[in-house]
Structure 1
Amino acid sequence: MIRRYAREPAVVQTLRATAAATLAYAAALWLSEEPAPLTAPLTALLVVQVTLYSTLTTSVRRVNAVVAGVLIASAFSLWVGLSWWSLGLIILASLTVGYLVRVGEFVPEVAISAMLVLGVTRVADTAWDRVLETLIGAAVGLLFNVLLPPVWVGDAEESIDELSRRMRRLLLDMGEGLSAPASVTRSAVRLHEARRLDNDIAQVDASLQQAEDSLRLNPRVREALLNRVVLRTGLDTLEICAVVLRVMARTLTDLATAREGGRLFPDEVSRALDELFARTSDALVSFAVLVTSEVSESAREAEQRLAEGLAAAAAARERAAGLLLARVHRDPRHWQLEGALLAEADRVLAELDPEHRSRRLLEELDRGVREQREKHPHLDGLRQWARSRRRVPHGRRARARDR
């Protein structure tokens, strides 16, 4: 239970924020002359986020917001005191400046800082003390995450795995329903479950976004771009499969409406389609295992299981296609719906194909590297310079050996 709660973002965030605020207050007591420097723990409390990347971006915006508010209050204190009209004027000016300096969600902090500073007697001393406390709190929060940066990849991997298993249960349920008498009510329930996958994907996307933020600028993680791309492309594939499953559930609902009270398919066709759905559902889970496997040996085993599952699903698809084709010759009614089931199964199998995934990975990696180079050209130049410097000594050593 301790391990489970230790991985909960809410629990970790609570402990980290409490520790950072306490350390910031202790540091402010030592460095500041204020008897109760509460601005420092307040800043640390607001700055410390779940990931190092968000902490860095939040620190800069919050410090900018506080400094802007302090400067505005200092300027106003030279000409006016605190009154109802000056308070309204300083709030208006602070919010306007907050949007101009682009402090994001900390726009109200500009006005809060200005009001707190303007409301005291010794404006100049309080202003600089508040700036100092803010810098202390931001520095403590930043160092806290630099020394102990969290990585939330595990949560994202678990959510992807759980999503694939929910999709598997839905496919198995649809396959088992093929042998029962056609029921619009049961088909509508499955269609509702398929539509609920959109909400599940949104939750997985939020977890994956947190994992991606935890990988950015994290010194504990190597090949952060590769890890982000692997998980993101995996979720994209599952999202496409979820859309196809929803269309498949809609197709079965239309067939149930057309054949209410009778059989959806003969026994032989039902068994063939049931096997196709079961093999496809197993391939979905194998794909999720492949996406979330970190060790190379585990990834190879997962890829082998996925290839075997796709081969079995393709063989089941051929058997179902032959039976459906013979059935269409005898009874051509609703042939477009029966053919749509095969087309939708083909789309899922094509998305899960390892070769298709490899192409997607290469495309996304190239795009990610290109975006990083365009966004940070100076860093790319430094990396190329460092590589060239490493090559030169190696060549010199080789020539020395030749001599």
Structure 2
Amino acid sequence: MPDVRKWATVPTRFLKRYRDPIVVQTLRSATAATIAYVLALRLSPEPAPLTAPLTALLVVQVTLYATLTNGIRRVNSVVAGVLVAIAFSLLVGLTWWSLALLIVASLAVGHLVRVDEYVPEVAISAMLVLGVTTVGDTAWARVVETLIGAVVGLACNVLLPPPVWVDEAGESIEGLARRVRQLMLRMGEEAAGRIPWQQAAARLHEARRLDHDIVEVDAALRQAEDSLRLNPRVKEGLLHRVVLRTGLDTLEICTVVLRVLARSFTDLAKARDPDPLFPPEAGAVVEELLSQIADAVVSFAVLVTTDLSLSAESAEARLTAELHTAAGTRDKLALVLRDEVERDARHWQLYGAVVTEVNRILDELDTEHRSRRLLEELDRVSGEQRAKLPRLSRLRERLGVPERLRRNRPGADGRSL
């Protein structure tokens, strides 16, 4: 039976590996480069038209949006380099000093035509063309090969749409939420214990290291956002992007507040040393409260990464119940700490800071707060798009796209994402 389970997981692991960005990029690039080379052999006068597969290799990206943007810049850079080379060949030819001037001029032209990361490609194209004897024929052959490679690269992603990386971004967001949960649970377990302030400071350093996790999740989310743009398989891509982005923003705020809370714990441990971090009764309530908030953070991550369905409704209901329970525990903690301040008012500022920071996290996770945030962000992004592309916006209004978007907005049917 264990052998059966082991072999049953092989297809699953293969499919996951196939969707890996490195594997997808390798297969897509190799396919596009090969097709471009075969076509260039028939259309280009060059015996070895390697510019076509090179262009296809550089144009093809994991997402369709990146492919289109890179393809346009790539073609512009090569054409600009070829034109610069033709001008130099007619005026001065190839010498050591003309090569230096060619590079300077090519880089300057690259910045003028705004090809971004392909600025060096302008100089590379110019040098390759200038270094041959039959400049005119080679120049136009290089342009043809570049166009072939760019067209094949674009067609590869149009005919074979790349995967949508929303699931991977969702897994990253949930992974961040679970790391936040683990840190909260450890802080809660130590709240009533007699721990040295150095141990509390170690938790503060763990909270600070969450910034690195946020950077990694942000990179995964950017890839998911690019995969949603201009993708024919995706409907309401704007809504998906806004839901994931605002969800990550909320988790980032929670990690910042958690870092401040860890700092309050560290200061409190120093001030109360060698006594426990909290009195026994307050420590038990703090542990319970942080445990409840930790669960709510994970439920929030599950909610923002779940489609509008029965699963989303159940996730929202679970999050609402957890936040309601945590709010009651927070009120209990406030009463316990108030009684403690009446007995000993030396640490009232730190006790108040703990309650305030916990309340900020609960407010960020609140479902009504999130619904308002989503509506504001959707309106802001839609307004920016209308300002950038007024003609396209008028066309969408005639086709009724805004109405479909409003029907899918959170809160339109009493639910929130």
TM-score (norm 1): 0.94
1:205, 1:382 → 2: CA distance? Answer: 33
Alignment partner of 1:135 is 2:147: yes
Tell me the residue number matched to 1:357.
370
Q: Please tell me whether the aligned partners of residues 52 and 150 of structure 1 are also in contact (alpha carbons under 8 angstroms).
A: no
- Equivalent of 1:171, from 178, 184, 192? 184
**How far has the Cα of 1:10 moved from its partner?**
1.8
Please state whether the residue corresponding to 1:329 is helix, strand or coil: helix
**How far has the Cα of 1:4 moved from its partner?**
2.5
Please state whether the residue corresponding to 1:78 is helix, strand or coil: helix
2:321, 2:400 → 1: CA distance? Answer: 42
1:3, 1:146 → 2: CA distance? Answer: 22
1:277, 1:67 → 2: CA distance? Answer: 60
**How far has the Cα of 1:79 moved from its partner?**
2.3
- Equivalent of 2:91, from 52, 67, 79? 79
The one-letter code matched in structure 2 to 1:317 is: R
Tell me the residue number matched to 1:25.
37
Tell me the residue number matched to 1:54.
66
Alignment of 1:317-332 (within 5 A): 317-332=330-345
Tell me the residue number matched to 1:346.
359
- TM-aligned CA distance change 1:313 to 1:387, over 3 Å: closer
Instruction: Summarize deviations over 1:247-278 as a string: whole Å, max 9, x none.
Output: 00000001111122221222221111111101
Instruction: Summarize deviations over 1:56-107 as a string: whole Å, max 9, x none.
Output: 1111111011001111111111122211111111111111111111111111
2:104, 2:19 → 1: CA distance? Answer: 43
Q: Please tell me whether the aligned partners of residues 188 and 291 of structure 2 are also in contact (alpha carbons under 8 angstroms).
A: yes
Instruction: Summarize deviations over 1:14-33 as a string: whole Å, max 9, x none.
Output: 22111111111112112222
1:150, 1:378 → 2: CA distance? Answer: 30
Tell me the residue number matched to 2:102.
90
Instruction: Summarize deviations over 1:118-141 as a string: whole Å, max 9, x none.
Output: 111111110110000000000111
Q: Please tell me whether the aligned partners of residues 283 and 306 of structure 1 are also in contact (alpha carbons under 8 angstroms).
A: yes
- Equivalent of 1:272, from 273, 277, 285? 285
Q: Please tell me whether the aligned partners of residues 279 and 309 of structure 1 are also in contact (alpha carbons under 8 angstroms).
A: yes
The one-letter code matched in structure 1 to 2:150 is: A
1:232, 1:386 → 2: CA distance? Answer: 27
**How far has the Cα of 1:387 moved from its partner?**
4.2
- Equivalent of 1:151, from 164, 174, 183? 164
Q: Please tell me whether the aligned partners of residues 43 and 134 of structure 1 are also in contact (alpha carbons under 8 angstroms).
A: yes
1:105, 1:218 → 2: CA distance? Answer: 24
% identical equivalent positions? 64
The one-letter code matched in structure 2 to 1:176 is: E
- Name the stretch that deviates more: 147-156 or 365-374: 147-156
1:253, 1:193 → 2: CA distance? Answer: 12
2:221, 2:42 → 1: CA distance? Answer: 40
1:166, 1:92 → 2: CA distance? Answer: 50
- Name the stretch that deviates more: 155-164 or 375-384: 375-384
The one-letter code matched in structure 2 to 1:99 is: H
CA RMSD of aligned residues (A): 1.2
The one-letter code matched in structure 2 to 1:110 is: V
Pairs aligned (count)? 388
Tell me the residue number matched to 1:396.
none
Please state whether the residue corresponding to 2:346 is helix, strand or coil: coil
1:318, 1:335 → 2: CA distance? Answer: 16
2:90, 2:51 → 1: CA distance? Answer: 24
Alignment partner of 1:34 is 2:69: no
- Equivalent of 1:195, from 202, 208, 211? 208
2:275, 2:341 → 1: CA distance? Answer: 17
1:318, 1:23 → 2: CA distance? Answer: 67
Q: Please tell me whether the aligned partners of residues 231 and 291 of structure 1 are also in contact (alpha carbons under 8 angstroms).
A: yes
Tell me the residue number matched to 2:409.
none
The one-letter code matched in structure 1 to 2:172 is: S
Alignment of 1:285-300 (within 5 A): 285-300=298-313
- TM-aligned CA distance change 1:164 to 1:44, over 3 Å: same
Please state whether the residue corresponding to 1:90 is helix, strand or coil: helix
- Name the stretch that deviates more: 5-14 or 114-123: 5-14
1:58, 1:362 → 2: CA distance? Answer: 32
Alignment partner of 1:238 is 2:243: no
Please state whether the residue corresponding to 2:213 is helix, strand or coil: helix
- Name the stretch that deviates more: 344-353 or 22-31: 22-31
1:71, 1:19 → 2: CA distance? Answer: 30
- TM-aligned CA distance change 1:32 to 1:287, over 3 Å: same
Unaligned runs of 5+ in 1: 389-403
The one-letter code matched in structure 1 to 2:140 is: W
1:30, 1:208 → 2: CA distance? Answer: 41
Tell me the residue number matched to 1:316.
329
Q: Please tell me whether the aligned partners of residues 71 and 154 of structure 2 are also in contact (alpha carbons under 8 angstroms).
A: yes
Please state whether the residue corresponding to 1:334 is helix, strand or coil: helix
1:276, 1:344 → 2: CA distance? Answer: 12
**How far has the Cα of 1:295 moved from its partner?**
4.0
The one-letter code matched in structure 1 to 2:178 is: R
1:99, 1:182 → 2: CA distance? Answer: 59
Q: Please tell me whether the aligned partners of residues 48 and 141 of structure 1 are also in contact (alpha carbons under 8 angstroms).
A: yes
- TM-aligned CA distance change 1:346 to 1:66, over 3 Å: same
Q: Please tell me whether the aligned partners of residues 19 and 163 of structure 2 are also in contact (alpha carbons under 8 angstroms).
A: no
Q: Which runs of 4+ in 1 moved over 6 A?
A: none
Tell me the residue number matched to 1:391.
none
